[in-house]
């Protein structure tokens, strides 16, 4: 277990466990090293429990994504074909309603995000792993990325657009996130 201590202009000590199980401690500038070591030692039980929980979450994520094998060209091609049949009609419908026009739709093996929009060239990117979600959650991602053609950032205007074009977006986002925790 690696422990990384970072000194910053902060009021108190804080600690978190990162994905690989390492411990990251943030300490106020000027706090003696001994005080940081005592803080870490006093939280050994918490560290052990948090590291176990983090490892379990990482395994759940791995198990979730393993449901859709994409290791061969054939598997990937089949997934692209299946997802394209779902996404393209959604994009066509919502793009017309929203009066936007994406220049291209691309599918990638992305695990860190469900979709992405390049606002400069209007290309939409979708994770092949969307196939593991219910159709209404896929539609939420499609509308989300199309909204970025109208508003690049996640500000109040963006949320207003989501409210307008996909009113159940908060519920869909919650369910989509739950898939990674429930598996």
Task: Write down which residue in 66, 92, 113 finishes a domain.
Answer: 66
Here the CATH number for the domain that contains residue 170 is: 3.30.2010.10
Residue 60 shares a structural domain with residue 104 = no
Average pLDDT over residues 117-127: 96
Identify the pLDDT of residue 153: 95
Asked if 82 and 172 sit in the same domain, the reply is yes
Q: What is the distance between the alpha carbons of residues 97 and 89, in angstroms, rounded to a whole number?
A: 12
pLDDT exceeds 90 at position 112: no
Is the same domain home to 138 and 84? yes
Per residue in 131-146, pLDDT tens?
Answer: 999 999 999 999 999 9
* pTM flag (> 0.85): no
Domain containing 46: what range? Answer: 3-66
Same domain as 111, residue 174: yes
Q: Is residue 183 very low, low, confident or very high in pLDDT (cuts 50, 70, 90)?
A: very low
Task: Determine how β-strand 14-17 pairs with β-strand 23-28.
Answer: antiparallel
One domain for residues 58 and 139: no
CA neighbor of 50 nearest in space, from 85, 78, 22: 22
Question: Same domain for 91 and 177?
Answer: yes
Q: What is the mean pLDDT of the chain?
A: 94
Residue after which a domain boundary falls, among 22, 46, 66? 66
Q: Which of the listed residues 20, 37, 66 is the one where a domain comes to its end?
A: 66
The Cα-based distances of 180 to 60, 61, 73, 174, 177 in angstroms read: 7, 6, 25, 11, 6
Angstrom distance (rounded) from CA 142 to CA 136: 10
């Amino acid at each position: 277990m690696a422990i990384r201590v970072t000194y910053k202009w902060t009021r108190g000590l804080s600690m978190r466990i990162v994905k690989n199980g390492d411990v990251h401690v943030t300490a106020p500038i000027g706090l003696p090293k001994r005080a940081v070591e005592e803080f870490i030692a006093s939280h050994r039980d918490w560290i052990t429990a948090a590291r176990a929980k983090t490892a379990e979450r990482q395994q759940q994520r791995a198990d979730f994504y393993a449901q859709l094998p994409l290791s061969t060209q054939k598997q990937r091609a089949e997934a692209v074909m299946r997802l394209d049949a779902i996404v393209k009609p959604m994009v066509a419908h919502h793009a017309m309603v929203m009066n936007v026009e994406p220049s291209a739709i691309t599918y990638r093996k992305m695990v860190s995000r469900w979709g992405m929009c390049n606002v400069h060239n209007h290309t939409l990117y979708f994770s092949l792993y969307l196939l593991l979600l219910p159709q209404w959650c896929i539609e939420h991602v499609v509308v989300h990325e199309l909204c970025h053609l109208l508003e690049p950032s996640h500000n109040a205007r963006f949320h207003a657009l989501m409210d307008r074009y996909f009113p159940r977006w908060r519920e869909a986002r919650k369910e989509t996130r739950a898939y990674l925790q429930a598996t």
